[in-house]
């Protein structure tokens, strides 16, 4: 097992409360029969949740991600490979899981942008800037 795969396995076993809550809502194809995987290595990164059928990556962000240039670089790299990235603030997952699922459902039902028109990082708009 490579270092990145070992790290991904460790992250799956040591989930944050936010990851655990969202995973419990998505596991076993509970959302639109979509299969999600946790802590998936992709190139130089490990993404929080991934749905290969939709090319969708879900990232869960805490306060340390507020306007983080590393996150912008990561998102750009993932989108340049055709993935759609959707970010949720930890606070939203913990305090408004129904809103998160509604936003996620709308996102998975929306068509992917045509080739060459951006990767489509999603902003959920569920909470204000200071709840990140």
Read off the pLDDT of residues 64-94 as tens digits, 9 standing for 90 and up.
646 678 889 999 999 999 999 999 999 999 9
Question: Where residue 63 falls among pLDDT bands split at 50, 70, 90?
Answer: low
Please determine, for residue 129, whether its predicted confidence score (pLDDT) is greater than 70.
Answer: no
| Phi-psi category of residue 32: left, alpha or beta, with phi > 0 → left and psi -120 to 50 → alpha | left
**C-alpha angle with apex 48: 67 to 111, nearest 5 degrees?**
85
Predicted confidence (pLDDT) per residue in 99-115, tens digit:
999 999 999 998 866 54
Q: What is the rounded average pLDDT of the residues 19-43?
A: 96
Mean residue pLDDT across the chain: 85
Q: Domains of the chain (ranges plus CATH)?
A: 3-106 (3.40.960.10)
pLDDT at 68: 77
């Amino acid at each position: 097992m490579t270092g990145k795969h070992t790290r991904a396995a460790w992250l799956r076993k040591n989930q944050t409360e936010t990851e655990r809550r969202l995973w419990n809502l998505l596991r076993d194809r509970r959302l639109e029969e979509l299969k999600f995987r946790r802590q998936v290595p992709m190139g130089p990164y490990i993404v929080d949740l991934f749905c290969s059928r939709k090319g969708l990556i879900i990232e869960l962000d805490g306060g340390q991600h507020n306007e983080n240039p590393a996150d912008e670089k990561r998102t750009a790299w993932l989108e340049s490979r055709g993935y759609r990235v959707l970010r949720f603030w930890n606070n939203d997952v913990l305090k408004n899981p129904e809103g998160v699922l509604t936003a996620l459902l709308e996102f998975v039902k929306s068509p992917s942008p045509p080739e060459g028109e951006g990767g489509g990082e999603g902003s959920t708009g569920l909470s204000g800037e200071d709840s990140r």
